[in-house]
Structure 1
Amino acid sequence: MAAARRGGTSSVLSSLPLQMLLYVNGVYYIFYFLATLMMIVYKSQVFSYPDDFLAPDLVVLFVMAILEVPRLYLGSKGNLTEEEAPLGLSLVLTLGSVVLAVYFLAWQTYVLRADVILNALLLSTYGLESGLKVMAIAAFVS
């Protein structure tokens, strides 16, 4: 504020829509994780779920959850501090999360309609978030 009064320009480059989407995505991911975990348990009880595939599905879900924490943290930190490096690293981690979400959408043992809906919504938020990250990085660099 003092710089603006003295004639200097002070501009905020961080993205409010990106910050809001990171928050919403964090809340949604908690729901996604619990719903996917419950569906894996449901599928293992109702369907003839091969034991060889139950463990990998659970491992992928937990790896995805572990990946989500630094992805959201670095995205938020990079946006708020207007630094390209953490935001870029968050973008790379988002690509990893996209691959794991596609696994649950197309390659897991049983794919229910609920899986399709949950993963389509997650992938949509990842896509929107990635676009906003790219725009924020471009604003920070210029």
Structure 2
Amino acid sequence: MTASSEILSSLPMEVLLFFNRWFTLLYVLLTGAIFIYKGMYLPYPPTGAYTWEVVFLCLYYIIDRTRIFQASKGNKTEQVFPLVTACLLTLPCVISLAYYISLQTYVLQLDVILNAIGLVFLGLESIFGPITTLRLLRASRF
């Protein structure tokens, strides 16, 4: 096997991204259902916090799906730029999950569990992403 035909993509990262795709969909659906419950049974202040929390959930979904797509694309095609983009998009996702785990108006136990699982996925992808990127960079220099 020559150096140019060596497979550099990361199978563990791709498996993690596959499961994170499904978890993100489940997370948004469950969190949306939780927001419906909170809106019906809990007294939100009239500052518009409820609306902003729902809007931020939609933005989180868009950013996270884009991040997962870019990471998967970069991993499968062995390109550095999509992987770097995915690594940069991890920061807003972490901030969003950290907000939903502790700073939103009402935090239920299910919120804590779902957001903790999401942070674990992001943490693992934050490990595999840079490792794969460095592997690709090192291989492209020679």
Q: Same fold (TM over 0.5)?
A: yes
* Aligned positions, number: 136
Partner of 2:24: 29
Question: Which residue of structure 2 lines up, in the alignment, with residue 55 of structure 1?
Answer: 51
1:47-88 CA distance string (max 9 Å, x none): 112242110000100000111221111100100111111101
Q: SS at 1:109's partner residue?
A: coil
In the TM superposition, residue 36 of structure 1 has moved relative to its aligned partner by: 0.5
Hey, what's the Cα distance between the residues in 1 that align with 2:16 and 2:90? 13
How big is the alpha-carbon RMSD for the aligned residues of Structure 1 and Structure 2? 1.0
Consecutive unaligned residues of structure 1, counting only runs of 5 or more, are: none
SS across alignment from 1:98: helix
Normalized against structure 1, the TM-score is what? 0.92
Gaps of 5+ in 2: none
Find the residue that maps to 2:7 and give its secondary structure: coil
Structure 1 CA distance for aligned equivalents of residues 73 and 117 of structure 2: 24
Alignment correspondent of 2:82: 86
Separation in structure 1 between the aligned mates of residue 102 and residue 50 of structure 2, nearest angstrom: 16
From 116, 122, 126, the equivalent of 2:118 is 122
Query: Could you tell me which of 11, 25, 32 is aligned with 1:16?
Result: 11
Larger Rg: 1
1:45 partner letter: M
Runs of 4 or more off by more than 6 Å in structure 1? none
The corresponding residue for 2:41 is 46
TM-score (normalised: structure 2): 0.92
Match of 2:108 in 1: 112
Picking from 60, 63, 73, the partner of 1:64 is: 60
Q: For residue 89 of structure 2, give the secondary structure of its aligned residue in structure 1.
A: helix
Distance 2:75 2:9 in 1: 5
Question: Which residue identity lines up with residue 84 of structure 1 in the other structure?
Answer: V
Letter in 2 for 1:42: Y
